[in-house]
Amino acid sequence: MTPSHAHHAHHTAHVHRAVDPGAATVDLASLYAMQSGPTPPRLIRAPREVHVELDARITTWSYAPGRTTTAWGFQGAVPGPAIIAHVGDTLVAHLVNHLPEPTTIHWHGLRVPAVMDGTDAVQPLVPPGGRFEYRFALPDAGTFWYHAHANETVQIERGLYGALVVLGPDEPVFDADRVLVLDDLKVDRRGEIARTALFDRHSGREGDVLLINGQATPELTIAAGQVERWRLVNACNARYARLSLGGRPFRVIGADGGLRDAAITVTETLLPPGARVELAVGPFDDVGAAIAIESLPYKRSGMKRARRATWGALRVGPRQPSRALLPEVLATITPLITDGDLTPTRTIELGARMTLHGHDWLVNGELHHQDEPVKVGELEVWDVINDTGLDHPFHLHGFFFQVVAIDDVPTVPRAWHDTVNVVARGRVTIAFRADDRPGEWMYHCHILEHHAAGMMGHFSVVR
Ligand code: C2O
Ligand code: CU
């Protein structure tokens, strides 16, 4: 660690030792050979190039009937265009910056080459009027998202995010496949997006207007008898969604890194900021029923009141035949730790300290911690310890991990993750193996205000 890293203000460029930045594309066969993520699907379709224009610009966003606000959106839309592609395709995204300030795009959850990760550690910020071409292969099937990775507390709040769905060659069959991007908006009395208050820096900014795909409390319809696949993304700055469908059972089928090993039936699931969950919703029998899409009270901080909140409604429409077929085994999740040895290779302490202007959020006692390098191919076991009175959603860039223990109790990995909640005073142990994508990477709390206030770490992946 260099002393200069301990005193960084946020949003400054970081200086790193030089490493091989790696190629702009990934050799998928060698990536899969490292067994560092989901098992490779057998491709049955010739890969294509998927081109998308992502013009970041100021826009007038209508988020409810008769209610508009000035927002920032890719292609002027909030969320930005949903990108749909297939495993093995190459995504070519043209960022054009028509904002009054610099920006970049981070591909949250994607195993991209380091130089394509969209952080200020790997590329200069794209200035107003500038452009940048992101180009990389899509190795994994699943629900991902992209978002601005500069001045995030403002840029993501104003709408610079979108969903990215990568389809595998043999997906389970559903009657519909929907993406639901959750967000919350804090508006002032004039209906404009409110300025960030000092208090937001402590708990993270939450808004009262709850949005699904950029619309306040929409009503969706599902045909009675049918089963839909719902891909949920939590794009909120700080709000947790303890999701419930009016108390009815639903099945969780996937997480950040694609399908789980098998479906699990629940009546609620916790979706912290940054994370994704995939559900099988239905079948319902009661035609005409309105089911709340809601979050149950969740206390993520001692200082916040836990409240139930409604995101939208699901109306049960006239019965339709179903062709949904959910196999018993959805994916093979090969455990990274087989000998029961959970000895951590590093410890990451999430902490806080009071300052004159409120709070600093720390990793191992530092703002913007510079962590040790990670060696390609080696098993990493990280103990993430929360020394604070609030939950923190811990996000690792570029690599999927398995959760191998919670509060020292070993867990069986059922899915791949890139974001995991670490409850107040709790501890989560994660394991991953870095595949051959050397360069500069980072991890951080996905409460955007905490990330901005220092709760992050930089590390290099080296050969
Ligand atoms: Cu969605 Cu640096 O994160
Ligand atoms: Cu946090």
What is the largest distance, in Å, between two alpha-carbon atoms of the chain?
65
Name the closest-CA residue to atom 1, ligand 1.
Answer: 108
Q: Do 297 and 356 share a domain, yes or no? A: no
State yes or no: pLDDT of 8 exceeds 80: no
Give 242 Cα–ligand 2 centroid separation in angstroms.
17
Q: What CATH number should be reported for the domain holding residue 281?
A: 2.60.40.420
pLDDT band at 355 (very low <50, low <70, confident <90, very high): confident
Residue 276 lies in a domain: yes
| pLDDT tens digits along 44-99 | 889 999 999 999 999 999 999 999 999 999 999 999 999 999 999 999 999 999 99
CA distance 359 to 299: 20
Q: Do 352 and 414 share a domain, yes or no? A: yes
Range of the domain at 150: 14-171
CA distance 109 to 395: 9
Least confident among 12-26, 187-201, 228-242, 312-326: 12-26
Q: Is the CB of 276 under 6 A from ligand 1?
A: no
Give 447 Cα–ligand 2 centroid separation in angstroms.
5
Which pTM was predicted? 0.94
Which amino acid belongs to residue 368?
H
Distances 93 to 49, 51, 149 between C-alpha atoms, Å? 10, 6, 15
Q: Do 234 and 103 share a domain, yes or no? A: no
Q: Do 162 and 19 share a domain, yes or no? A: yes
Which amino acid belongs to residue 364?
N
Query: Tokens in use for 311?
Result: 């995101």
CA distance 93 to 28: 19
**Which ligand is the nearest neighbour of the Cα of 387?**
2
Q: Do 83 and 111 share a domain, yes or no? A: yes
Q: Do 148 and 23 share a domain, yes or no? A: yes
Q: Do 396 and 272 share a domain, yes or no? A: no
Q: Do 138 and 274 share a domain, yes or no? A: no
Q: Do 185 and 214 share a domain, yes or no? A: yes
CA distance 61 to 68: 5
Which residue, of 121, 136, 171, is where some domain finishes?
Answer: 171
| pLDDT tens digits along 222-255 | 999 999 999 999 999 999 999 999 999 999 999 9
Give 452 Cα–ligand 2 centroid separation in angstroms.
10
CA distance 82 to 47: 19
| pLDDT tens digits along 284-328 | 999 999 999 999 999 998 777 789 999 999 999 999 999 999 999
Are 67 and 78 in contact, with CB atoms under 8 Å apart? no
pLDDT score at 14: 44
Average pLDDT over residues 25-33: 85
Least confident among 18-27, 72-81, 359-368, 445-454: 18-27
**Which ligand is the nearest neighbour of the Cα of 301?**
2
Residue 109 lies in a domain: yes
Residue 2 lies in a domain: no
pLDDT score at 22: 58
Are 171 and 330 in contact, with CB atoms under 8 Å apart? no
CA distance 290 to 221: 9
CA distance 296 to 454: 30
Q: Is the CB of 108 under 6 A from ligand 1?
A: yes
Give 149 Cα–ligand 1 centroid separation in angstroms.
7
Residue 329 lies in a domain: no
Distances 354 to 357, 360, 448 between C-alpha atoms, Å? 8, 6, 18
Average pLDDT over residues 193-209: 85
State yes or no: pLDDT of 207 exceeds 60: yes
CA distance 408 to 427: 7
Residue 330 lies in a domain: no
pLDDT score at 357: 73
| pLDDT tens digits along 393-451 | 999 999 999 999 999 999 999 999 999 999 999 999 999 999 999 999 999 999 999 99
Name the closest-CA residue to atom 3, ligand 1.
Answer: 108
CA distance 293 to 246: 7
Q: Do 289 and 360 share a domain, yes or no? A: no
> What are φ and ψ of residue 5, in 5° steps?
-70, -25
Q: Is the CB of 274 under 6 A from ligand 1?
A: yes
pLDDT score at 5: 40
Residue 3 lies in a domain: no
Which residue, of 127, 145, 171, is where some domain finishes?
Answer: 171
Q: Do 228 and 305 share a domain, yes or no? A: yes
Which residue, of 171, 187, 202, is where some domain finishes?
Answer: 171
**Which ligand is the nearest neighbour of the Cα of 120?**
1
Tell which residue, 381, 355, 351, has the closest CA to residue 364.
351
Q: How many domains does the chain have?
A: 3
Q: Which residues pair with 422 in a beta bridge?
A: 392
Distances 155 to 148, 392, 449 between C-alpha atoms, Å? 6, 20, 12
Q: Do 302 and 367 share a domain, yes or no? A: no
